[in-house]
Structure 1
Amino acid sequence: MAWSFHFVPLLFFFLLSSASALATSGHGSSGNATAMLRPGRELLRQRRIRALLGKLNKPSVKTIESPDGDFIDCVPSHLQPAFDHPKLRGQKPLDPPEERPKNYNSTVAGRSRAGAVVLQAWHAAGEACPEGTVALRRTTEKDLLRASSLGRYGRKPARRITRRDSTGSGHEHAVGYVNSEKYYGARASVNVCSPRIGDPSEFSLSQIWVLSGSFSNDLNTIEAGWQVSPELYGDSNPRFFTYWTTDAYQETGCYNHNCRGFVQTTNKIAVGAAITPESVYNGRQFDITLLIWKDPKHGHWWLELGPGVVVGYWPSGLFTHLAHHARMVQFGGEIFNAGARGSHTATQMGSGHFPGEGFDRAAYFRNLQVVDWDNSIIRASNLKLLADHPGCYDIKGGFNGYWGTYFYYGGPGRNMKCP
């Protein structure tokens, strides 16, 4: 028994000595020692991936395979990820409000394919999700393996900003904004483009922001639009997306259904799925109309992808400041510049062309409107324009009777004026 008592420490000493000898030998054995540990870390990562997939993907009654490689799961509406949120657990989706904001039917026509039904790539499969379900884009293991961090999967890169100008954070904007009233929603039409992305970890998007709170730490935002993000989606297709946060993008909120919160109510549109067709440079333009408004009855923020498809809502209880109203509304483009090459990114914003090129070439927002205290849609007057780096991405706006308040925006990123 005495022999066996001493055997364990002696064996441990022998193994420790052997590992030390291997680590100090000139045959690359330190790499082998590291490799011996790597399977354990990889196993842990795989377990985390499986657990996260289990949270994000819910049991479906039907799955539709999209021609672009997506899988659209038709999930019973009461089983969607939103209802895992502690404040929403046990609830069921609300019916869309019976009434839209006043002046809802005011013209949004323009020189584009306005009024056309919004199509997504998965619609080409010729199948639909049944009534009582919602169409959810499935998150795959490949999606998670592309993520730079599982802990921040589905979130914008963390940032701290003191005002709209995000210089130094990697996030660059060309936006129009209003901030002189209390706001209860916004509407605009934006053409859908396919900007080139300079680095897979970067993105380019065009959206509406509805904001309240301070930019430093308690910013509440609701966001919706289209986005190109190879890291998030695995391709360069423009995709319909949503976003929200209550703490300036630090710990709360996410894209689409990648965390609990946004409640989808439609089986016709899948958040995160590709939009088709796209605008063609010097050719036909295609735009979508987005409406975000706060329902006066229940206080929730609803999203419509026009014409007429109510996508879902952000429950009022998710927010602090936005539980009441917004203090700012923004329209425009954003890119993330990872700064990996020591020069400015070549990621494009909008169509990748400067606003001076005008219609058919530059990206645009038109018929910019806000929802006021009386639940009326009115023109977004006193619009201010801001471009963080005009030599990279610029913005120029105006007003006419055809497009209302509008602007052209975007640019190529790295060029002679943006080294």
Structure 2
Amino acid sequence: MWHQNGLCQENTIPIRRTKKEDVFRASSIRRYGKKTHLSTPNPSSVDPAMLNENGHQHAIAYVEGDKYYGAKATINVWQPSIQQGNEFSLSQLWILGGSFGQDLNSIEAGWQVSPDLYGDNNTRLFTYWTSDAYQATGCYNLLCSGFIQTNNQIAMGASIFPISNYGGSQYDINILDPKEGNWWLQFGNDYVLGYWPSFLFSYLADSASMIEWGGEVVNTEPDGSHTSTQMGSGHFPEEGFGKSSYFKNIQVVDSSNNLKAPRGIGSFTEQSNCYDVQNGNNGDWGTYFYYGGPGKNPNCP
């Protein structure tokens, strides 16, 4: 939407202005622009008792067990409702290396609604990275050094428009993250946005060991109750096209830098009565899945 107010001059890039109100909304200056710990889904650990400890819930598809040099997806864009300002809802791809301990490396890109970070409920394009499981390194967009933007047409953290409507028009974005010495990010078919230098990472210096696609929300409700923050469209996968949110044409990049369909794809969610995921495959959409949900409902109190 920022294109309505003009474009950047040659040899400059768009950087979203940080205001003092943005910093004041953060829990601390040190944590401004950062995710909380344990925000990457771990399909090998399904412990509902952990949900109120870290607050993050997911509905994802994933592959592991090979070397991956990038990933691609077409992501359906929505504007999910957020219950509280310190919660968020996002849809993204994760490129992961290392273990799910303190040495996790993660590169992430997609769309999010985060009132705490942006001060509104707009759906925004974002990136993220960390080399130590969200402890000290990394941040959203350009809020710290790391991601090097080379494109002046697309703004990190800018609002995406138009967005999908329930039972109406559907809109999506293409995200491609291939490795060519560094981890390059492509938006749509025409825009190479920039790159994460390989020296930022230890386990992602050469390749990734896991790729994930899907949704994430934060639940800050106490005492075991559940937030009504939506994931995706806010509707369950079984409602299908035009009603549930989807990822389609998901692919991975092999060692020859070629895109191919993922093999042995799995799915994961902590609480399927709150947010769920259903995989599929056909000639038009390739490998795809529907995902998301309303959060709090009679089966997810």
Range of TM-score over shorter length: over 0.9
- Corresponding residue for residue 11 of structure 1: none
Does 1:277 pair with 2:162? yes
Range moving further from structure 2, 331-340 or 161-170: 161-170
Q: What are the ranges of 5 or more consecutive residues in structure 1 without an aligned counterpart?
A: 1-120
Q: How does 1:177-216 map to 2 (within 5 A)?
A: 177-216=62-101
Contact kept, 8 Å, 2:39 with 2:56, in 1: the verdict is: no
Query: 1:341, 1:238 → 2: CA distance?
Result: 29
Higher strand fraction (1 or 2): 2
1:290 counterpart = 2:169: no
Measure the CA separation in 2 of the matches of 1:162 and 1:226. Answer: 17
Cα distance in 2, alignment partners of residues 246 and 380 from structure 1: 25
Q: Distance in 2 between matches of 1:158 and 1:292?
A: 23
Find the partner of 1:249 among 134, 139, 151: 134
Question: Runs of 4 or more off by more than 6 Å in structure 1?
Answer: none
Distance 1:146 1:201 in 2: 8
**Matched AA of 1:411:** G
* Structure 2: 5+ residue stretches without partners: none
- Alignment partner of 2:58 out of 173, 183, 204: 173
Residue 80 of structure 1: aligned partner: none
Q: TM-score, normalised by structure 2?
A: 0.95
For the residues of structure 1 that align with 2:37 and 2:279, how far apart are their CA atoms?
Answer: 30
Query: Residues 302 and 310 of structure 1 are in contact (CA less than 8 Å); yes or no, is this contact kept in structure 2?
Result: yes
Q: Counterpart in 1 of 2:267?
A: 385
**Alignment equivalent of 2:255, drawn from 365, 369, 373:** 373
Offset of residue 163 of structure 1 = 3.1
Report the Cα distance in structure 2 between the residues aligned to 1:130 and 1:301, rounded to whole angstroms: 25
* Aligned with 1:158 (options 37, 40, 43): 37
| Deviation of 1:341 (Å) | 6.7
* Contact persistence 1:222–1:244 (CA under 8 A): yes
Alignment partners' CA distance in 1, 2:41 and 2:246: 27
Task: Write out per-residue CA displacement over residues 110-161 of structure 1, whole angstroms, 9 at most, x where no aligned residue.
Answer: xxxxxxxxxxx11122x11011001111111111111121111000112388
1:143 to 16, 22, 40: 22
Distance 2:244 2:113 in 1: 17
Q: Which amino acid aligns with 2:226?
A: H
Distance 1:350 1:162, change over 3 A: closer
Instruction: Give the fraction of aligned pairs with identical amino acids, expressed as a percent.
Output: 55
Q: Give CA-to-partner distance per residue, 1:69-90, whole Å, 9 cap, x none.
A: xxxxxxxxxxxxxxxxxxxxxx
Report what 1:96 is aligned to: none
Secondary structure class of the residue paired with 1:248: coil
Q: How far apart are the structure 1 equivalents of 2:298 and 2:160?
A: 32
TM-score normalised by the chain length of structure 1: 0.69
Q: Which of 284, 290, 293 is the aligned partner of 1:408?
A: 290
Aligned partner of 1:132 in structure 2 is 11
- Is contact 1:211-1:322 (8 Å) kept? yes
**Are positions 1:300 and 2:182 aligned together?**
yes
User: Counterparts of 1:12-411 in structure 2 under 5 Å?
Assistant: 121-125=1-5, 127-159=6-38, 163-164=42-43, 165=45, 167-168=50-51, 169-295=54-180, 299-340=181-222, 342-411=224-293
- Report the secondary structure of 2:35's partner residue: coil
Alpha-carbon deviation of 1:381? Answer: 2.4
Aligned residues: 295
Match of 1:88 in 2: none
Residue 184 of structure 1 aligns to which amino acid in structure 2? Answer: Y
- Work out the CA distance in 2 between the residues paired with 1:136 and 1:341: 40
Return the alpha-carbon distance in structure 2 between the equivalents of residues 189 and 355 of structure 1. 17
More helix by share: 1
Whether contact under 8 Å (2:80, 2:234) holds in the other structure is: yes
Q: Note the C-alpha offset of 1:366.
A: 0.1
State how far apart, in whole Å, the 1-side matches of 2:268 and 2:251 are: 18
Structure 2: distance between partners of 1:160 and 1:172? 8
Letter in 1 for 2:155: A
Alpha-carbon offset, residue 194 of structure 1 = 0.3
Any conservation in 1 of the 2:34–2:139 contact (CA below 8 Å)?
yes
CA contact (8 A) 1:161 1:216 kept: no
Aligned partners of 1:162 and 1:216 also within 8 Å: no
Q: Deviations over 1:322-360 (max 9, x none)?
A: 001000000000001112475101110000000000000
Write the deviation string for residues 32-88 of structure 1: whole angstroms up to 9, x where unpaired.
xxxxxxxxxxxxxxxxxxxxxxxxxxxxxxxxxxxxxxxxxxxxxxxxxxxxxxxxx
> Greater Rg, structure 1 or structure 2?
1
CA contact (8 A) 1:191 1:288 kept: yes
